[in-house]
Amino acid sequence: MRLAIALLLWLLIASNAVAQERDDFFILLPFGYDFLQIGEQNVHRPAAGIGFLSGDMDEPFDKVERRFFALALYQPLLFREEPLPGLPNHFHRIDAIFDGRIYRHQLLLIFRSAADKPIAGGLGTFETGIGWGYELVRRQNISLILGAGLAVSDFGPALSLDRVWPVLPLPLIRFNVNTQWFTSSFDFLTGPNFSFTVAPQEKIRFTADMRMDQYRTINDLIFQYTLWYRLFNESHRLGDFAGIGIGIKNDSFNFLISRNSENFELQKRSIFGIIDLSLLRIESGWIYDSNYLIDGRRISNPGSGFYASVQGIVPVSRR
């Protein structure tokens, strides 16, 4: 699924900062707001959601017995003017994930809808999937989960000119490594998602997040590379809770136009600075390149600009 993977993973990592004991249960209330100015266009993207986190949090891979994480997130995208002639100026995105773990068994449920008319616009306006996996490698610093899943949308084999088989079997792969000098996470259900950190216990560290939702050109590689300076380390009484960073990223907003099944996409590349306070992130940067695409075809370049973003999460303990 083309979920907001980076945000969902950050919410999971951030929420671990407040759940230090086994069997903690937290209700999660994520929120956010992005503002973009690209050329003459202004774009607003608020975000709000709800979720929960429960079970073994900061444990070695071979000590995890039960861990459950769920999140639902709504993010409308509001253009001041029509991005292209004839297109709506507002879109909707709904993301949901359930990630459950019991000993070696992994259950993953995901849902995404990104369109001018989410869900109601037809099969092409949403994707959903379920996957089950078994942990074949279970060591203190290494975990490998392999399994299978089913995805439902309009990307299955064609049955006729206007019909597709809506169910597609897919592999489930989850591989994690956690050492003193390197941590990484690789997930695959409907597409690859890979992240890693160099020197995760040092004040100066490097992080990378990458994924591919489509496979047209190298521009479909969504990435964010960040060089961090963490203000404190784990030995501090508050832990490693704050840092500043600079980076570069390529990302996109992708939506289906329900009336003609065309795919509208805003691609942008930027350099940025970020302040991370674990449960709150403030980010701003310069957008040096952007493109409007319809079904993968570049239609226009709206120009350069800037953006500002605030993302946070409010954990509510229910222990």
- At 302, phi and psi to the nearest 5? -70, -10
What pLDDT digit, counting tens, does each position of 108-145 carry? 999 988 888 877 666 667 788 899 999 999 999 999 99
What pLDDT digit, counting tens, does each position of 248-274 carry? 999 999 898 887 778 899 999 999 999
Structure tokens at 216: 């047209």
pLDDT band at 9 (very low <50, low <70, confident <90, very high): low
- Distance of alpha carbon 18 from the chain centroid: 21
Tokens 């690859």 appear where? 192
Q: Which of 151, 1, 123 is nearest to 73 (CA)?
A: 1
Residues in the chain: 319
- At 129, phi and psi to the nearest 5? -160, 160
Contact between 170 and 90 under an 8 Å Cβ cutoff? The reply is no
Taking 70 as the threshold, does the pLDDT of residue 156 lie above it? no
Q: What pLDDT does residue 160 have? A: 58
pLDDT band at 99 (very low <50, low <70, confident <90, very high): very high
Q: What pLDDT does residue 59 have? A: 75
CATH number of 5-18+32-317: 2.40.160
pTM of the predicted model as reported, rounded to 2 decimal places: 0.87
Instruction: Give the C-alpha separation, 247 to 166, whole Å.
Output: 39
